[in-house]
Amino acid sequence: MLNKINFLTAGESHGQGLMGIIQGIPSNLEIDKQYINYHLSRRQKGFGRGARMKIEKDSATIYCGIRNGKTIGAPIGLIIPNLDWKNWNNIMNVEKHQKSGKKITLPRPGHADLAGIMKYQFDDIRNVIERSSARETTMRVALGTICRKFLEELDIHIASYVTKINTIADHNIYDFPIHSINRRSDKSEIRCLDKKIEKQMINTIKQAQKNGDTVGGKFQILVSGAPYGLGSYIAWDKKLNAKLAESICSINAIKTITFGRDSSSDNYGSELHDEIFYNNNHFTRSTNNAGGIEGGMSNAQHITISATMKPLSTLSQPLQSVDIKDKKSKMAHKERTDTCAVPAAAVIAESMVAIVLADSILDKFGGDSMQELKQHFKSAQF
Ligand code: EPS
């Protein structure tokens, strides 16, 4: 679905590390390691994360594609080591190994385990766990941060905050400028903008932790500065909403996504659609229930997206399962896990949105260098 940018990630959760390549970023974009690592650290936070995040301190090595702090138009390669690898190098060794560990044979309901072993014909669920793990999203954030920097050069900003944990919901409507939202949400352990609700959310996670359970939730993604016409109505695979939906739904445990007003099907058309006015040489809208996208194209309003994350599937009080070896009924495999990863998912979604928007900008405006792109972007309509 991307036209101008390609990216690829590789790496297992407890292997040596993660690798990523992104191609299609114009030359002369300033980017440094500290900026990438800052966003990697945002992904690692959030109340409800498990013991693994105390082991990792994600830091990207820029391997190629950047010289003197600027992109050179070539593919950019990044590497992020897994610090936990030192505890797993027998089990995860790429060579044949005597001590490759006991096979995991009890699939966890809700996880990739059962369908994964059926598809790839494994007798050890470890092969599935390792790549289906959300560890992979570390590299997506690193690559997405390069696209975020690209967008910031055009004054396009992306932010997120958590709106629900289990049944505790934040229904407040905030009118903070979008570029200031992350400064506020990042201060909260759960990335919630309301102090009182934050406390209730944290208590809900604590309770789930106590019960050996997990909780999901919802988060909001906001984008400012997108001009008219990213994406198109002319073909199914050019619609911006479809591209954004695919990119966000590809994040582990994401189940639904909504653009603009939640549960818009409850409204009459006359209540929902955003009326059009003309002031000071600009079209203006009375509301933004469409969430900044009409007919598969950005309409120069803020893009607003809400996503739902299911409770994570690894439970320390496991559910019923069946041993893939002897077909006997047993409890599912237990593995170290997070109780809640909704705040992290919001940061990952910011990165996926950044990749899609950078691609759509390049598709519409074009340019091999940042200078050329900025020159073209001057024609953008708002
Ligand atoms: C994950 C299980 C946990 C999480 C992990 C995703 O890791 P571990 O199995 O090492 O305890 O912490 O997330 C990350 C490592 C990460 O960087 O987000 C899973 O099973 O998906």
pLDDT tens track for 163-204: 999 999 999 999 999 999 999 999 999 999 999 999 999 999
Q: Specify the pLDDT at position 98.
A: 76
Give residue 49 CA to ligand 1 midpoint distance, Å.
Answer: 9
Q: Which atom of ligand 1 is nearest to the CA of 252?
A: 21
Cβ atoms of residues 96 and 43 within 8 Å: no
User: Residue 114's pLDDT is what?
Assistant: 98
Cβ 50 under 6 angstroms from ligand 1: yes
- pLDDT per residue over 263-320, tens digit each? 889 999 999 999 999 999 999 999 999 999 999 999 999 999 999 999 999 999 999 9
Is 62 domain-assigned?
yes
Do the domain assignments include residue 253? yes
* Any domain includes 1: no
pLDDT at position 96: 87
Confidence band of 101 (pLDDT split at 50, 70, 90): confident
Tell whether pTM > 0.85.
yes
Which residue matches tokens 């998912």?
A: 345
Task: Specify the CATH number for the domain of residue 28.
Answer: 3.60.150.10
Residue with tokens 């809400």: 306
Q: How far is the centre of ligand 1, averaged over its atoms, from the C-alpha of 304 (Å)? A: 28
User: Is 99's pLDDT higher than 80?
Assistant: no
13 domain residue, yes or no: yes
CA dihedral for 163, 168, 174, 179, sign (positive or negative): negative
pLDDT band at 100 (very low <50, low <70, confident <90, very high): confident
Three-class DSSP category at 134:
helix
Is 143 within a domain? Answer: yes
Q: Evaluate if residue 121 carries a pLDDT over 80.
A: yes
Nearest residue to 223 via CA among 144, 158, 127? 158
Nearest to 356 by CA among 249, 196, 235, 265: 249
On whether residue 16 sits in a domain, the answer given is: yes
Count of domains forming the chain: 1
Q: Does pLDDT of 250 surpass 90?
A: yes
129 touches 115 (CB < 8 A) = no
130 lines ligand 1 (CB under 6 A): no
Domain membership of residue 326 as a residue range: 6-379
Quote the percentage of the chain above a pLDDT of 90: 97
| Cα 241 to averaged position of ligand 1 atoms, centre (Å) | 29
Looking at residue 211, its pLDDT comes to 96
CB 20 within 8 Å of CB 7:
yes
Q: Does a structural domain hold residue 214?
A: yes
